[in-house]
């Protein structure tokens, strides 16, 4: 073994942790398109959004110009309980792959929610508390976001009602128990508690739910309950802003060891971890400086960026949310129930969508789930951490890029986001091991059904 000059884990001192979030919108030449009111076709005003989100978050949502936004001291202090997250040099993976590439990953699974989602949850709960609100509602699919927000609301003493996608709730009963331990109330969606839920159940009593439906239910409850607002764990501009902590820490850590990344890789569901990871590096690109090659990775079964269309669409099934201009498969798109790897949202962050549309994100790549779980299993065995299936999409592509370097002999520096751990996804791991996992790739005809649902807007699209 040669002596390793760069440590396995590159940590930051508390004093080196970011004190401001980075708002990449301030530097984007073409800003993401504004959210539209579906009734009027006009941009959503702060007043309209204020019925759904708390005031400070509305301000952040609409702010396309302030580059650096201070992180309130209370949030900085909470971050210190589980951050800085480690940047890890994947020496064992490099060895296993026999690649000359240098692989690093930023590990965000080091908290009870098991994912990066806590970075935004704590901010959203903080601002709600500051405004004197008493409760939040949200939806959760796989469960990480619901858990993260339950932790954050538990910390600040806010009530939380989580609408959990029914099929996920049934596959992961312990997720519910974790959220309840942090004092959240969890309801399976579709539920009889909202008009949207009741309408869906009346038509289809066996409906197993989707993120889009759960969002509709949570928004309906928030807008009809005193002292209550809605919180969302991805897609929104404010969430990408909070998640910039990932990229800021990564950049500082790499600078500390004098390493410049050649390729930056993240999985993309709604876009929050990828948007956060690449933000400050994208800032370099937008300032004309050297920047890595950016790759967004998504499941072949829910191919939003690679096969979706860039258009204004609803963020939910019930069509109660504003319209967002984004890559979308149509709000009625329901991924195959055989799809185990998460990342099943029909849309994508408007910030990432705009960057991708403008060629500033270099590539989006869709991968099939058996190849994802093959990578996940290998990673668990050699690097020790059992990855979330979502994160394993990024691992797959990082491995593919490292194997390319083996062919060419290039010593590229590859950095990817390891967004979380996969302890609650063991049914999927078992399906992979016993060979019952199948790959599903929607046909063009399947996708056409979702596209047909995208609204036609007079004079807009
Ligand atoms: C939610 C989640 C994702 C995907 O969401 P993004 O908003 O695209 O980041 C990825 N990994 C983990 C572990 C998650 O919990």
SS3 220: helix
pLDDT, residue 168, reads 87
Report the length, in residues, of the chain. 461
Q: Does an H or E element contain 243, and which?
A: helix 237-256
The pLDDT mean for the chain works out to 95
pLDDT, residue 319, reads 83
Least confident of 250-254, 295-299, 318-322: 318-322
Q: How far is the CA of 5 from the centre of ligand 1 (A)?
A: 32
Evaluate if residue 342 carries a pLDDT over 90.
no
d(CA 356, CA 353): 5
Phi, psi dihedral angles at 205 (to 5 degrees): -60, -25
Evaluate if residue 344 carries a pLDDT over 90.
no
Read off the pLDDT of each residue in 232-249 and give the average, rounded to a whole number: 97
Query: 460 falls in which pLDDT band (50, 70, 90)?
Result: confident
CA-to-CA separations, 295 to 54, 298, 416, in angstroms, rounded: 33, 10, 9
Q: Among the atoms of ligand 1, which is closest to the Cα of residue 117? A: 15
Please report the DSSP string for 368-420 in residue order: -HHHHHHHHHHHHHHHS--B-HHHHHHHHHHHHHHHHHHHHT---EEEEEE-B
Query: 210 falls in which pLDDT band (50, 70, 90)?
Result: confident
pLDDT, residue 398, reads 98
Tokens of 294: 């950016």
Chain center to CA of 312: 20
Q: How far is the CA of 68 from the centre of ligand 1 (A)?
A: 24
Q: Among the atoms of ligand 1, which is closest to the Cα of residue 115? A: 13
Query: 2 falls in which pLDDT band (50, 70, 90)?
Result: low
pLDDT tens-place string over residues 84-128: 999 999 999 999 999 999 999 999 999 999 999 999 999 999 999
pLDDT, residue 456, reads 86
d(CA 382, CA 193): 46
Q: Among the atoms of ligand 1, which is closest to the Cα of residue 275? A: 9
Q: Among the atoms of ligand 1, which is closest to the Cα of residue 420? A: 13
Q: Is 283 exposed, middle or buried (0-12, 13-18, 19+ CB in 10 A)?
A: buried
Buried b (16+ CB within 10 A) or exposed e, 254-279: beeeebebbbbbbbbbbbbbbbbbbb
- Work out whether strand 9-10 and strand 87-89 pair parallel, antiparallel, or are unpaired: antiparallel
Q: How far is the CA of 390 from the centre of ligand 1 (A)?
A: 6
Closest Cα to atom 13 of ligand 1:
420
Q: How far is the CA of 392 from the centre of ligand 1 (A)?
A: 11
pLDDT, residue 339, reads 78
pLDDT, residue 3, reads 61
Query: 457 falls in which pLDDT band (50, 70, 90)?
Result: confident
Q: Are 279 and 287 in contact (CB under 8 A)?
A: no
| Torsion region of 258: left, alpha or beta (phi above 0 gives left; psi -120 to 50 gives alpha) | left
Read off the pLDDT of each residue in 323-351 and give the average, rounded to a whole number: 87
Q: Is the pTM of this model over 0.75?
A: yes
Q: For ligand 1, which residues put their CB under 6 angstroms from it?
A: 115, 117, 144, 234, 267-273, 343, 388, 390-391, 419-420
When computed from its CA atoms, the radius of gyration of the chain, rounded to whole angstroms, is: 21
pLDDT tens-place string over residues 387-403: 999 999 999 999 999 99
Closest Cα to atom 4 of ligand 1:
269
Q: How far is the CA of 297 from the centre of ligand 1 (A)?
A: 11
Read off the pLDDT of each residue in 347-374 and give the average, rounded to a whole number: 98
Q: How far is the CA of 372 from the centre of ligand 1 (A)?
A: 15
Query: 69 falls in which pLDDT band (50, 70, 90)?
Result: very high
pLDDT tens-place string over residues 9-35: 998 999 999 999 999 999 999 999 999
Q: Among the atoms of ligand 1, which is closest to the Cα of residue 113? A: 15
pLDDT, residue 266, reads 98
Least confident of 66-75, 145-154, 400-409, 421-430: 421-430
Q: How far is the CA of 226 from the centre of ligand 1 (A)?
A: 30
Closest Cα to atom 7 of ligand 1:
272
Closest Cα to atom 2 of ligand 1:
390
Q: Are 395 and 418 in contact (CB under 8 A)?
A: yes
pLDDT tens-place string over residues 249-286: 999 999 999 999 999 999 999 999 999 999 999 999 99
d(CA 397, CA 404): 10
Cis bond before residue 317 (omega within 30° of 0): no
pLDDT, residue 282, reads 98
Read off the pLDDT of each residue in 135-141 and give the average, rounded to a whole number: 95
pLDDT tens-place string over residues 416-432: 999 999 998 999 999 99
Q: Which of 234, 277, 303 to mutate to test the pocket of ligand 1 (most atoms within 8 A of CB)?
A: 234
């Amino acid at each position: 073994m040669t002596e390793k000059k760069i440590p396995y884990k590159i940590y930051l001192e508390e004093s080196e942790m970011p004190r401001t979030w980075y708002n990449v919108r301030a530097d984007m030449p073409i800003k993401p398109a504004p959210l539209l009111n579906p009734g009027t076709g006009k941009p959503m005003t702060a007043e309209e959004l204020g019925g759904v989100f708390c005031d400070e978050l509305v301000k952040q949502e609409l702010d396309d110009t302030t580059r650096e936004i201070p992180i309130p001291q209370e949030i900085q202090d909470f971050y210190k309980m589980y951050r800085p997250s480690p940047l890890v040099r994947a020496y064992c993976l490099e060895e296993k792959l026999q690649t000359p590439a240098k692989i690093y990953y930023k590990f965000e699974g080091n908290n009870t929610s098991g994912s990066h989602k806590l970075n935004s949850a704590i901010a959203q709960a903080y601002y709600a508390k500051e405004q004197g609100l008493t409760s939040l509602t949200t939806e959760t699919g796989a469960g990480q976001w619901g858990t993260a927000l339950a932790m954050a609301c538990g910390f600040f003493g806010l009530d939380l009602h989580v609408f959990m996608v029914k099929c996920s709730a049934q596959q992961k009963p312990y997720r519910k128990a974790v959220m309840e331990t942090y004092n959240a109330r969890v309801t399976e969606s579709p539920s009889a508690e909202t008009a949207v839920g009741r309408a869906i159940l009346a038509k289809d009593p066996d409906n197993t739910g989707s993120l889009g439906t759960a969002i509709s239910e949570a928004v309906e409850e928030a807008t009809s309950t005193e002292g209550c607002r809605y919180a969302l764990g991805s897609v929104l501009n404010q969430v990408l802003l909070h998640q910039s902590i990932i990229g800021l820490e990564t950049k500082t850590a790499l600078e500390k060891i004098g390493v410049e990344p050649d390729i930056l890789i993240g999985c993309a569901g709604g876009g929050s971890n990828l948007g956060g990871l690449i933000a400050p590096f994208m800032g370099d690109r937008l300032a004309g400086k050297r920047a890595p090659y950016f790759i967004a990775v998504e499941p072949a079964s829910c191919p939003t960026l690679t096969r979706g269309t860039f258009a204004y669409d609803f963020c939910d099934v019930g069509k109660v949310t504003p319209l967002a201009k984004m890559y979308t498969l149509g709000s009625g798109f329901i991924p195959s129930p055989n799809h185990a790897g998460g990342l099943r949202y029909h849309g994508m962050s408007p910030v990432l969508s705009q960057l991708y549309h403008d060629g500033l994100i270099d590539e989006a790549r869709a991968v099939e789930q058996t190849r994802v779980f093959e990578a996940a299993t290998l990673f668990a065995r050699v690097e020790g951490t059992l990855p979330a299936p979502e994160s394993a999409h990024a691992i797959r592509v990082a491995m593919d890029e490292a194997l390319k370097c083996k062919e060419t002999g290039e010593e590229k520096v590859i950095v990817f986001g390891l967004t979380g751990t996969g302890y609650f996804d063991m049914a999927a791991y078992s399906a992979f091991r016993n060979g019952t996992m199948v790959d599903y790739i929607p046909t063009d005809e399947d996708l056409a059904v979702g596209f047909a649902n995208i609204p036609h807007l007079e004079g807009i699209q």
